[in-house]
C-alpha cells in the first residue's frame, strides 16, 4: 500500500478580491497599531481558506489596485474584519490611490529575506531626529515586508514622517521578518547643503602683529639698568624709553577699542612728577658705607 504523503503537497495560491477601507473605519476604538505599520486586517473566512491551501509562512500578501495597476506588499495582523472587507493603513491607501469601498485584489506571495534597503525622507524635518536609524528600526517592527517605491509613514514624538523606499535587495519586494538588513538614507526632499564661502586671500595676508594695539600706560621692565662698577652703560642703539601715556581708567569706555583685541589692565601708580622730586630721587646704587662685624676697640 502506498502512503498518503507519497507526493509533496503543492501550496495553492490565495487570490481574492475584497472591499477596502481605511483603519479609521474599523468599529470601536482607533487602531493606532495598524495605522503606523504595514499590516492589514482580514476577515475570519480568509484564515480558514489560507489554512486549507497550505501556504508558506509567514503570511505575506500582494495588494493590487487594478484600476491604477499599483502594487504593494504587506503582512496580516488579525482576522477580525467583517466578511468581504479588509482594513489597511491610510498611507497604503494613498499609495495605491484607493477610495473608501474600492475593490482590492489580495494575493498570497513568498518574498526573499531583505539584506539592504534605502530610504529617502520626504521632509527635511526628519533630520531633527537625534538617531534616525534607531527610530526607523523601531518603526519597522510593525512591518512585515517592503516594496521599492512605497511611501511608508512612521510615527515618532506625536509626529508622522513619510519615507520613500528607494531600493531593496535582493529584490524589489522583500520580507523584513527576522532578518539582518543594512539601512541607508538618501538626502531628504527639499534639503540643501549649506554653502561654504571660501576665505578671501586678503584676510589671510594680514599680519597678526599688525592687529595688536599699541602698548599704553605701564610697561614692565622698561627702566634703564646700572653697572655694579659705577661705569656708564654704552649706547648700543637700543630703543628710546617710551614716554609714559595716560593709563586707562576704569569706568571710562575705550572709544578706540578694536574688535578682536584684548587689553590686560593692571593697577599701576602714575609716574612721579618732576616738581615733587627731592634729594632722594638722585638715587645711586651701592653708594652707602659698609659696616664691619668686628668692633673697633678690639685688635
Do β-strands 39-41 and 116-121 pair in parallel, antiparallel, or remain unpaired?
unpaired
Find the mean pLDDT for residues 239-255. Answer: 56
Q: What is the band of 79 on the pLDDT scale with cuts at 50, 70, 90?
A: very high
Domains observed in the chain: 15-109 (2.40.40.50), 116-185 (3.10.330.10)
* Model confidence at 8: pLDDT above 60: no
Place of cell 541607508: 184
Task: Supply the pTM of this predicted model.
Answer: 0.60
Residue bearing the bigger pLDDT, 233 or 159: 159
- The rounded distance, in Å, linking the Cα atoms of 242 and 230 is 25
- The rounded distance, in Å, linking the Cα atoms of 135 and 154 is 9
Amino acid at each position: 500500500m502506498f502512503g498518503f504523503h507519497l507526493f509533496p503537497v503543492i501550496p495553492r495560491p490565495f487570490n481574492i478580491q475584497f472591499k477596502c477601507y481605511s483603519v479609521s473605519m474599523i468599529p470601536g476604538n482607533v487602531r493606532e497599531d495598524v495605522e503606523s505599520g504595514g499590516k492589514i486586517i482580514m476577515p475570519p473566512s480568509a484564515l480558514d481558506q489560507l489554512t486549507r491551501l497550505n501556504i508558506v509562512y509567514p503570511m505575506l500578501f500582494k495588494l493590487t489596485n487594478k484600476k491604477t495597476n499599483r502594487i504593494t506588499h504587506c503582512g496580516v495582523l488579525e482576522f477580525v474584519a467583517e466578511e468581504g472587507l479588509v482594513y489597511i493603513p491610510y498611507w497604503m491607501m494613498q499609495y495605491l490611490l484607493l477610495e473608501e469601498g474600492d475593490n482590492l485584489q489580495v494575493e498570497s506571495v513568498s518574498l526573499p529575506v531583505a539584506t539592504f534597503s534605502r530610504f529617502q525622507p520626504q521632509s527635511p524635518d526628519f533630520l531633527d531626529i537625534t538617531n534616525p536609524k534607531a527610530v526607523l528600526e523601531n518603526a519597522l517592527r510593525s512591518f512585515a515586508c517592503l516594496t521599492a517605491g512605497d511611501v511608508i509613514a512612521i510615527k515618532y514624538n506625536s509626529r508622522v514622517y513619510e519615507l520613500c523606499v528607494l531600493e531593496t535587495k535582493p529584490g524589489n519586494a522583500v520580507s523584513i521578518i527576522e532578518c539582518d538588513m543594512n539601512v541607508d538614507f538618501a538626502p531628504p526632499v527639499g534639503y540643501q547643503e549649506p554653502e561654504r564661502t571660501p576665505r578671501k586671500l586678503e584676510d589671510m595676508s594680514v599680519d597678526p602683529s599688525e592687529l595688536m594695539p599699541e602698548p599704553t600706560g605701564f610697561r614692565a621692565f622698561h627702566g634703564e639698568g646700572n653697572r655694579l662698577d659705577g661705569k656708564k652703560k654704552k649706547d648700543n642703539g637700543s630703543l628710546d624709553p617710551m614716554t609714559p601715556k595716560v593709563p586707562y581708567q576704569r569706568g571710562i569706555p575705550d572709544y578706540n577699542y578694536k574688535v578682536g583685541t584684548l587689553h590686560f589692565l593692571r593697577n599701576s601708580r602714575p609716574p612721579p612728577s618732576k616738581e615733587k622730586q627731592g634729594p632722594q630721587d638722585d638715587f645711586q646704587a651701592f653708594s652707602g658705607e659698609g659696616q664691619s662685624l668686628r668692633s673697633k676697640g678690639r685688635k
